[in-house]
Amino acid sequence: MANIREIAERAQVAPGTVSRALNNKGYISKETRKKIDKALKELEYVPNELARNLYRNRSNMIGVILPDIEHPFFLGIIKKLVIELKKYNYGVALWTTEYEAREEKEYLERLKRNAVDAAVVFVPVLDRAFYQELGRPLVLLDRIVEGIPYIPIDQEKSGRLAARKLYEDGCRHVLTVVGEQSDEIPSLKRHVAFIKEMEKLGGTVKVIREEWNNFELDYHMELAEKILEQEPEADGIYAADILGTAFLKVLRRMGRNVPEEFEIISTDGIDESNHAAISLSAVIQPAEMIAKEMARVLMGQIEGHPVKKIKTIDVYMYNGDTTK
Protein backbone atom coordinates (compact mmCIF):
# COMPACT_ATOMS: atom_id res chain seq x y z
CA MET A 1 0.00 0.00 0.00
CA ALA A 2 1.28 3.49 -0.86
CA ASN A 3 2.58 5.72 1.92
CA ILE A 4 2.17 9.47 2.41
CA ARG A 5 5.49 10.28 0.70
CA GLU A 6 4.44 8.36 -2.43
CA ILE A 7 1.06 10.12 -2.43
CA ALA A 8 2.87 13.46 -2.17
CA GLU A 9 5.14 12.64 -5.10
CA ARG A 10 2.19 11.61 -7.27
CA ALA A 11 0.25 14.77 -6.36
CA GLN A 12 3.37 16.94 -6.65
CA VAL A 13 2.89 18.44 -3.20
CA ALA A 14 4.80 18.27 0.08
CA PRO A 15 4.22 15.26 2.41
CA GLY A 16 3.07 17.69 5.09
CA THR A 17 0.32 18.92 2.78
CA VAL A 18 -0.94 15.35 2.30
CA SER A 19 -0.86 14.83 6.06
CA ARG A 20 -2.88 18.02 6.64
CA ALA A 21 -5.42 16.90 4.05
CA LEU A 22 -5.83 13.47 5.64
CA ASN A 23 -6.24 15.02 9.08
CA ASN A 24 -8.42 17.89 7.84
CA LYS A 25 -6.13 20.49 9.43
CA GLY A 26 -4.99 23.83 8.07
CA TYR A 27 -5.85 25.52 4.80
CA ILE A 28 -5.58 23.54 1.58
CA SER A 29 -6.75 25.01 -1.72
CA LYS A 30 -9.44 23.23 -3.72
CA GLU A 31 -6.98 22.62 -6.54
CA THR A 32 -4.44 21.01 -4.21
CA ARG A 33 -7.11 18.86 -2.57
CA LYS A 34 -8.21 17.65 -6.01
CA LYS A 35 -4.64 16.60 -6.78
CA ILE A 36 -4.38 14.72 -3.49
CA ASP A 37 -7.76 13.03 -4.01
CA LYS A 38 -6.69 11.94 -7.48
CA ALA A 39 -3.40 10.53 -6.16
CA LEU A 40 -5.22 8.68 -3.36
CA LYS A 41 -7.51 6.99 -5.88
CA GLU A 42 -4.75 6.16 -8.35
CA LEU A 43 -2.56 4.59 -5.68
CA GLU A 44 -5.56 2.97 -3.91
CA TYR A 45 -4.47 4.47 -0.63
CA VAL A 46 -6.59 3.41 2.37
CA PRO A 47 -5.82 5.47 5.49
CA ASN A 48 -6.53 4.07 8.94
CA GLU A 49 -10.08 4.48 10.22
CA LEU A 50 -9.39 7.58 12.30
CA ALA A 51 -7.51 9.35 9.52
CA ARG A 52 -10.18 8.44 6.98
CA ASN A 53 -12.94 9.85 9.15
CA LEU A 54 -11.02 13.05 9.86
CA TYR A 55 -10.33 13.49 6.17
CA ARG A 56 -13.99 13.08 5.30
CA ASN A 57 -15.11 15.07 8.36
CA ARG A 58 -17.04 12.02 9.53
CA SER A 59 -17.52 10.32 12.89
CA ASN A 60 -19.14 7.17 11.46
CA MET A 61 -21.71 7.41 14.25
CA ILE A 62 -25.47 7.91 14.09
CA GLY A 63 -27.26 9.53 17.02
CA VAL A 64 -30.49 7.80 18.04
CA ILE A 65 -32.70 10.03 20.18
CA LEU A 66 -35.70 8.50 21.94
CA PRO A 67 -37.83 9.30 24.99
CA ASP A 68 -37.40 6.00 26.83
CA ILE A 69 -35.23 2.95 26.24
CA GLU A 70 -37.74 0.64 27.95
CA HIS A 71 -40.41 0.97 25.25
CA PRO A 72 -40.38 -2.41 23.45
CA PHE A 73 -41.26 -0.90 20.07
CA PHE A 74 -38.34 1.53 20.14
CA LEU A 75 -35.95 -1.09 21.49
CA GLY A 76 -36.90 -3.58 18.79
CA ILE A 77 -36.19 -1.09 16.01
CA ILE A 78 -32.90 0.02 17.56
CA LYS A 79 -31.63 -3.56 17.73
CA LYS A 80 -32.30 -3.99 14.02
CA LEU A 81 -30.93 -0.53 13.19
CA VAL A 82 -27.61 -1.36 14.85
CA ILE A 83 -27.35 -4.42 12.58
CA GLU A 84 -28.21 -2.44 9.45
CA LEU A 85 -25.80 0.41 10.19
CA LYS A 86 -22.95 -2.03 10.73
CA LYS A 87 -23.28 -2.90 7.03
CA TYR A 88 -22.33 0.72 6.28
CA ASN A 89 -19.52 0.69 8.88
CA TYR A 90 -21.54 2.93 11.22
CA GLY A 91 -22.15 2.70 14.94
CA VAL A 92 -24.91 4.12 17.15
CA ALA A 93 -24.85 6.68 19.96
CA LEU A 94 -28.02 6.21 22.03
CA TRP A 95 -29.52 9.20 23.82
CA THR A 96 -32.73 9.30 25.90
CA THR A 97 -34.74 12.46 26.56
CA GLU A 98 -37.55 11.47 28.97
CA TYR A 99 -39.73 13.67 26.71
CA GLU A 100 -37.70 16.75 27.70
CA ALA A 101 -37.38 19.23 24.81
CA ARG A 102 -34.23 20.65 26.40
CA GLU A 103 -32.55 17.23 26.29
CA GLU A 104 -33.55 16.61 22.69
CA LYS A 105 -32.26 20.02 21.65
CA GLU A 106 -28.90 19.39 23.35
CA TYR A 107 -28.48 16.08 21.51
CA LEU A 108 -29.35 17.65 18.17
CA GLU A 109 -26.83 20.41 18.87
CA ARG A 110 -24.24 17.63 18.99
CA LEU A 111 -25.31 16.72 15.47
CA LYS A 112 -24.66 20.33 14.43
CA ARG A 113 -21.20 20.11 16.01
CA ASN A 114 -20.43 16.95 13.98
CA ALA A 115 -20.24 14.68 17.03
CA VAL A 116 -22.40 12.34 14.92
CA ASP A 117 -23.00 12.30 11.16
CA ALA A 118 -26.80 12.01 11.31
CA ALA A 119 -29.62 11.40 13.75
CA VAL A 120 -32.83 9.44 14.10
CA VAL A 121 -35.44 10.99 16.38
CA PHE A 122 -38.18 8.78 17.84
CA VAL A 123 -41.24 10.80 18.94
CA PRO A 124 -39.81 14.32 18.34
CA VAL A 125 -41.04 17.06 20.70
CA LEU A 126 -39.34 20.26 19.49
CA ASP A 127 -40.99 22.89 17.29
CA ARG A 128 -40.94 21.94 13.61
CA ALA A 129 -38.83 25.03 12.78
CA PHE A 130 -35.90 23.63 14.76
CA TYR A 131 -35.70 20.50 12.60
CA GLN A 132 -36.18 22.48 9.41
CA GLU A 133 -33.35 24.88 10.27
CA LEU A 134 -30.97 22.17 11.46
CA GLY A 135 -29.51 21.54 8.02
CA ARG A 136 -28.06 18.14 8.92
CA PRO A 137 -28.94 14.52 7.95
CA LEU A 138 -32.01 13.57 9.97
CA VAL A 139 -34.83 11.02 9.98
CA LEU A 140 -37.96 11.23 12.14
CA LEU A 141 -40.24 8.45 13.33
CA ASP A 142 -43.89 9.13 14.15
CA ARG A 143 -43.93 12.80 13.28
CA ILE A 144 -44.41 14.62 10.00
CA VAL A 145 -42.36 17.80 9.52
CA GLU A 146 -42.28 19.33 6.05
CA GLY A 147 -38.89 18.92 4.42
CA ILE A 148 -37.61 16.31 6.89
CA PRO A 149 -37.57 12.60 5.93
CA TYR A 150 -39.68 10.29 8.06
CA ILE A 151 -40.37 6.57 7.80
CA PRO A 152 -44.05 6.06 6.85
CA ILE A 153 -45.88 3.01 8.15
CA ASP A 154 -49.27 1.93 6.77
CA GLN A 155 -51.16 3.02 9.89
CA GLU A 156 -54.60 3.00 8.27
CA LYS A 157 -54.17 -0.65 7.31
CA SER A 158 -53.15 -1.43 10.89
CA GLY A 159 -56.39 0.02 12.26
CA ARG A 160 -58.56 -1.72 9.66
CA LEU A 161 -56.93 -5.13 10.23
CA ALA A 162 -57.42 -4.90 13.98
CA ALA A 163 -61.06 -3.80 13.70
CA ARG A 164 -61.94 -6.59 11.27
CA LYS A 165 -60.29 -9.25 13.40
CA LEU A 166 -62.02 -8.16 16.61
CA TYR A 167 -65.40 -7.92 14.88
CA GLU A 168 -65.01 -11.30 13.15
CA ASP A 169 -64.27 -12.83 16.55
CA GLY A 170 -67.51 -11.45 18.00
CA CYS A 171 -66.27 -8.32 19.80
CA ARG A 172 -68.87 -5.55 19.69
CA HIS A 173 -67.86 -3.11 22.49
CA VAL A 174 -64.19 -2.39 22.05
CA LEU A 175 -61.68 0.06 23.46
CA THR A 176 -58.80 1.99 21.96
CA VAL A 177 -56.34 4.20 23.84
CA VAL A 178 -55.15 7.38 22.13
CA GLY A 179 -52.33 9.72 23.15
CA GLU A 180 -51.48 13.15 21.74
CA GLN A 181 -53.66 14.19 18.81
CA SER A 182 -52.08 16.10 15.95
CA ASP A 183 -51.96 15.94 12.16
CA GLU A 184 -48.17 15.73 12.55
CA ILE A 185 -48.42 12.37 14.35
CA PRO A 186 -48.91 9.57 11.78
CA SER A 187 -49.75 6.87 14.35
CA LEU A 188 -53.00 8.68 15.15
CA LYS A 189 -54.24 7.52 11.74
CA ARG A 190 -54.45 3.90 12.90
CA HIS A 191 -56.90 4.81 15.66
CA VAL A 192 -59.04 6.87 13.27
CA ALA A 193 -59.09 3.96 10.78
CA PHE A 194 -59.85 1.49 13.58
CA ILE A 195 -62.85 3.51 14.78
CA LYS A 196 -64.22 4.02 11.26
CA GLU A 197 -63.87 0.35 10.33
CA MET A 198 -65.38 -0.97 13.57
CA GLU A 199 -68.36 1.40 13.39
CA LYS A 200 -68.86 0.55 9.70
CA LEU A 201 -69.02 -3.12 10.65
CA GLY A 202 -71.57 -2.42 13.40
CA GLY A 203 -69.48 -2.35 16.57
CA THR A 204 -68.95 0.47 19.07
CA VAL A 205 -65.64 2.01 20.13
CA LYS A 206 -64.87 3.74 23.40
CA VAL A 207 -61.88 6.07 22.99
CA ILE A 208 -59.68 6.47 26.07
CA ARG A 209 -57.42 9.56 26.13
CA GLU A 210 -54.06 8.97 27.78
CA GLU A 211 -50.69 10.74 27.58
CA TRP A 212 -47.90 8.36 26.52
CA ASN A 213 -45.09 9.48 28.80
CA ASN A 214 -44.70 6.48 31.11
CA PHE A 215 -43.55 3.06 29.93
CA GLU A 216 -43.49 1.19 33.23
CA LEU A 217 -45.65 -1.95 33.31
CA ASP A 218 -46.96 -1.28 36.84
CA TYR A 219 -48.33 2.08 35.73
CA HIS A 220 -50.14 0.49 32.80
CA MET A 221 -51.55 -2.28 34.97
CA GLU A 222 -53.12 0.37 37.21
CA LEU A 223 -54.48 2.08 34.11
CA ALA A 224 -55.90 -1.22 32.80
CA GLU A 225 -57.66 -1.86 36.12
CA LYS A 226 -59.21 1.61 36.06
CA ILE A 227 -60.40 1.27 32.46
CA LEU A 228 -61.93 -2.17 33.06
CA GLU A 229 -63.81 -0.85 36.10
CA GLN A 230 -65.16 2.07 34.08
CA GLU A 231 -65.99 -0.04 31.00
CA PRO A 232 -67.39 -3.37 32.29
CA GLU A 233 -69.12 -4.13 28.96
CA ALA A 234 -65.90 -3.93 26.95
CA ASP A 235 -64.92 -7.17 25.20
CA GLY A 236 -61.78 -6.13 23.32
CA ILE A 237 -59.01 -3.58 23.05
CA TYR A 238 -56.65 -2.21 20.40
CA ALA A 239 -53.77 -0.62 22.27
CA ALA A 240 -50.01 -0.21 22.48
CA ASP A 241 -47.97 -3.32 23.21
CA ILE A 242 -47.20 -2.44 26.83
CA LEU A 243 -50.83 -1.62 27.64
CA GLY A 244 -52.02 -4.79 25.91
CA THR A 245 -49.63 -6.78 28.10
CA ALA A 246 -50.95 -4.97 31.18
CA PHE A 247 -54.56 -5.77 30.23
CA LEU A 248 -53.64 -9.42 29.82
CA LYS A 249 -52.08 -9.61 33.28
CA VAL A 250 -54.97 -7.78 34.95
CA LEU A 251 -57.63 -9.88 33.20
CA ARG A 252 -55.86 -13.07 34.25
CA ARG A 253 -55.75 -11.84 37.82
CA MET A 254 -59.49 -11.10 37.64
CA GLY A 255 -60.13 -14.63 36.41
CA ARG A 256 -61.45 -13.52 33.04
CA ASN A 257 -60.74 -15.74 30.06
CA VAL A 258 -58.65 -14.32 27.22
CA PRO A 259 -59.64 -14.57 24.38
CA GLU A 260 -63.05 -16.13 25.09
CA GLU A 261 -64.33 -13.16 27.13
CA PHE A 262 -61.96 -10.41 26.09
CA GLU A 263 -59.61 -9.99 23.12
CA ILE A 264 -56.41 -7.95 22.89
CA ILE A 265 -54.60 -6.69 19.79
CA SER A 266 -51.39 -4.72 20.09
CA THR A 267 -50.99 -1.69 17.83
CA ASP A 268 -47.22 -1.82 17.65
CA GLY A 269 -45.94 -5.34 17.31
CA ILE A 270 -42.39 -5.43 15.95
CA ASP A 271 -42.05 -9.18 15.48
CA GLU A 272 -43.95 -12.34 16.32
CA SER A 273 -42.71 -12.34 19.89
CA ASN A 274 -44.10 -13.99 22.99
CA HIS A 275 -45.07 -12.22 26.20
CA ALA A 276 -44.42 -14.52 29.15
CA ALA A 277 -46.22 -17.84 28.51
CA ILE A 278 -48.77 -16.38 26.10
CA SER A 279 -48.40 -14.78 22.68
CA LEU A 280 -50.00 -11.37 22.30
CA SER A 281 -51.92 -10.85 19.06
CA ALA A 282 -50.65 -7.78 17.22
CA VAL A 283 -50.53 -5.82 14.02
CA ILE A 284 -46.88 -6.26 13.12
CA GLN A 285 -44.80 -3.30 11.95
CA PRO A 286 -41.66 -5.20 10.95
CA ALA A 287 -38.71 -3.71 12.83
CA GLU A 288 -36.25 -5.07 10.30
CA MET A 289 -37.97 -3.30 7.41
CA ILE A 290 -38.21 -0.03 9.36
CA ALA A 291 -34.51 -0.23 10.25
CA LYS A 292 -33.47 -1.03 6.66
CA GLU A 293 -35.34 1.99 5.33
CA MET A 294 -33.98 4.23 8.09
CA ALA A 295 -30.42 3.20 7.25
CA ARG A 296 -30.98 3.68 3.51
CA VAL A 297 -32.43 7.17 3.98
CA LEU A 298 -29.71 8.20 6.44
CA MET A 299 -26.88 7.01 4.19
CA GLY A 300 -28.40 8.78 1.20
CA GLN A 301 -28.35 12.08 3.09
CA ILE A 302 -24.83 11.55 4.45
CA GLU A 303 -23.44 10.76 1.00
CA GLY A 304 -25.19 13.74 -0.56
CA HIS A 305 -27.72 11.72 -2.56
CA PRO A 306 -31.03 12.08 -0.68
CA VAL A 307 -33.52 9.27 -1.27
CA LYS A 308 -36.31 10.65 -3.45
CA LYS A 309 -38.93 8.06 -2.56
CA ILE A 310 -39.17 6.53 0.91
CA LYS A 311 -40.90 3.16 1.11
CA THR A 312 -44.09 2.83 3.15
CA ILE A 313 -43.69 -0.02 5.61
CA ASP A 314 -46.40 -2.65 5.18
CA VAL A 315 -48.08 -4.26 8.20
CA TYR A 316 -49.81 -7.57 8.80
CA MET A 317 -52.01 -9.24 11.41
CA TYR A 318 -50.37 -11.77 13.72
CA ASN A 319 -52.90 -13.98 15.48
CA GLY A 320 -51.48 -14.93 18.85
CA ASP A 321 -53.27 -16.32 21.87
CA THR A 322 -55.21 -13.16 22.75
CA THR A 323 -57.57 -13.47 19.77
CA LYS A 324 -59.65 -16.45 18.67
User: Does 83 lie in the same domain as 52?
Assistant: no
Do 121 and 141 form a contact (C-beta atoms < 8 A)?
yes
Domain stop point among 34, 56, 78: 56
Please report, for the domain that includes residue 248, its CATH number. Answer: 3.40.50.2300
User: Does 199 lie in the same domain as 132?
Assistant: no
User: Which H helix or E strand runs over 245?
Assistant: helix 241-254
Specify the length of the chain in residues.
324
Digit-coded pLDDT (tens) for 22-65: 776 778 898 998 998 898 888 877 665 545 554 556 788 999 99
Least confident piece of the model among 163-177, 192-206, 257-271, 275-289: 275-289
User: Does 266 lie in the same domain as 233?
Assistant: yes
Q: Across residues 291-304, what is the average pLDDT?
A: 95
User: Does 266 lie in the same domain as 172?
Assistant: yes
Amino acid 272: pLDDT: 59
Q: Is the pLDDT of residue 211 over 60?
A: yes
Do 69 and 122 form a contact (C-beta atoms < 8 A)?
no
User: Does 265 lie in the same domain as 296?
Assistant: no
User: Does 110 lie in the same domain as 26?
Assistant: no
**Percent of the chain at pLDDT exceeding 90:** 60
Amino acid 278: pLDDT: 57
The domain total for the chain is: 3
Amino acid 120: pLDDT: 97
Amino acid 275: pLDDT: 42
Do 282 and 245 form a contact (C-beta atoms < 8 A)?
no
39 vs 199, more confident: 199
Domain of residue 9, residue span: 4-56
Does some domain include residue 221?
yes
User: Does 159 lie in the same domain as 268?
Assistant: yes
Distance CA 75, CA 157 (A): 23
CA atoms within 13 A on the CB side of 113: 7
Does some domain include residue 323?
no
This prediction has a pTM of: 0.79
